[in-house]
Chains A and B, each alone.
Chain A
């Protein structure tokens, strides 16, 4: 079974702090994604990576950056957390081709106070 894990289920940070959200997948997937989930808005793509050190902006990249130094790990960075970044963050991974199915992690609920 594909496994996507995220470093924390719940996280509380203060405004202005630098925040790291980590995601690890164990199926050698090329693609990895970071989504933000908000009620009434569904899931929105923040950043996407299709290879090590490769990244592309999604729909809402402002205030975020990412890092992919190893194939299995994709980090989301909030350089200076703000209250409007309080949200559920979901990581996903997929193969480059084939079924295009994305496999999701359990999510990190981040609260910025």
Chain B
């Protein structure tokens, strides 16, 4: 079974600065998807960024980018020019491409709570 580990329960960043959230995972599969989801306080979880394992190029979405190290099984999220609206719980998630049924499920890490200070 796959596992996802987020070793930083809480992080803090000053507005306009850059912060990196860590995520490692364990799998024996070669093809999979990785995701970062954001859950703002009292608001719905939304997708921030996605990475296909077969792609060597790191995904980027505006101020959000990932550092995907397949051999090291590492998938960190970098937030540049942090804004107050970035304050949220961030979850790293893994999705297998094999099989069906609950193989379609997402395996989540325990989350990192990001504070953004003035």
Contact = CB atoms under 8 A, between A and B. Distances in A.
A33 B108 CA distance: 14
Interface in B8-55: 9, 33, 35, 37, 43-47, 50
Contact of A50 (B33, B95, B101, B108): B101
Nearest to A54: B101
A33 B95 contact: no
Binding site of A, secondary structure by majority: helix, strand, loop or mixed? strand
A31 interface: yes
B110 A105 contact: no
B33 A43 contact: no
B113 to A, nearest CB: 10
Interface residues of B, number: 24
Contacts of B35: 101
Interface in B50-105: 50, 91, 95, 100-102, 104-105
A57 B102 contact: yes
A48 B91 contact: no
Given A41-B110, A43-B91, A106-B44, A58 B50 contact: no
30 contacts: A40-B9, A40-B110, A42-B4, A42-B110, A42-B111, A43-B91, A43-B106, A43-B108, A44-B108, A48-B101, A48-B104, A48-B105, A50-B101, A56-B101, A56-B102, A58-B102, A90-B45, A94-B104, A96-B104, A99-B50, A100-B33, A100-B50, A100-B95, A101-B50, A102-B47, A104-B37, A104-B45, A104-B46, A106-B44, A107-B44
